[in-house]
Amino acid sequence: MPPWEHEEMGSVFTYLITKIKTISKEVTDDLQQLSKSTPCEFFWDILPREQRPPSGCDIESERDLIHFHQHFKGLAGLGPEFLYRILHMDRLSRRNIVCINTRGFWPGPFIGLRIGLSWDHKFPFIDPADRYEPQICEQLWSTLSPLEQPTVGWKKAWLLPHNEEDILEDSMDLNRDPEADWEWSYALWDERRLKEWEAPL
């Protein structure tokens, strides 16, 4: 995957997080309200069977809700289809699906993002990804359709001053925070919108 597409995915991922946060807060608030009205500790002691969080999930008592906010990224990593489905469920079904899909550990946001393999140990790309092997970036972009090329926002954020013959890897600011500006989806917008909004790039 070319680096600008990773940033596009990161922008979408961050949008999904904002939506998941709202749903997770709803789930947390509902379960905390149930706990406050009883001295019982576990939800299976409080709720009738058909209203309990599903068996096998990590949410068994109010104590489990303390760290519930740490699972936003894992739930968002399940993708837009998951979000769409839970947004269109009734409240109880939504709560149960969120609880059963909550995990204590999530390596995301994307598999392999921070594995840290040396370039010497990575496999070479194969078709069609091999066209992104290190090559002169301006030449590479001229071979891509407008939709496949990086946006002006990505170029301004990542590219260092470079010569036309420099390869992409040598032209990028590799010290830049890889998740910076995902909140406003900088890598998705066209040049006209960035100018209209006076985007901070």
- pTM score: 0.74
Q: Give the mean pLDDT of the chain.
A: 80
DSSP classification of residue 124:
P
Q: What is the pLDDT of residue 91?
A: 92
Residue pair 199/25 in contact by the 8 Å Cβ criterion:
no
| Residue 14 pLDDT exceeds 70 | yes
Residue 136, beta-bridge partner list: 167
Using one digit for the tens of pLDDT, what is the confidence trace for 30-65?
Answer: 888 877 766 777 777 777 778 777 887 777 777 777
| Residue 23 pLDDT exceeds 60 | yes
> What's the burial of 82, exposed, middle or buried (CB within 10 Å: 0-12/13-18/19+)?
middle
Listed in sequence order, the residues at least 6 apart from 156 whose beta carbon sits closer than 8 Å to its beta carbon are: 201
| Torsion of Cα atoms, 76 then 81 then 83 then 88, to 10° | -170
Distance linking the first and last C-alpha atoms of the chain: 23
Q: What is the pLDDT of residue 6?
A: 85
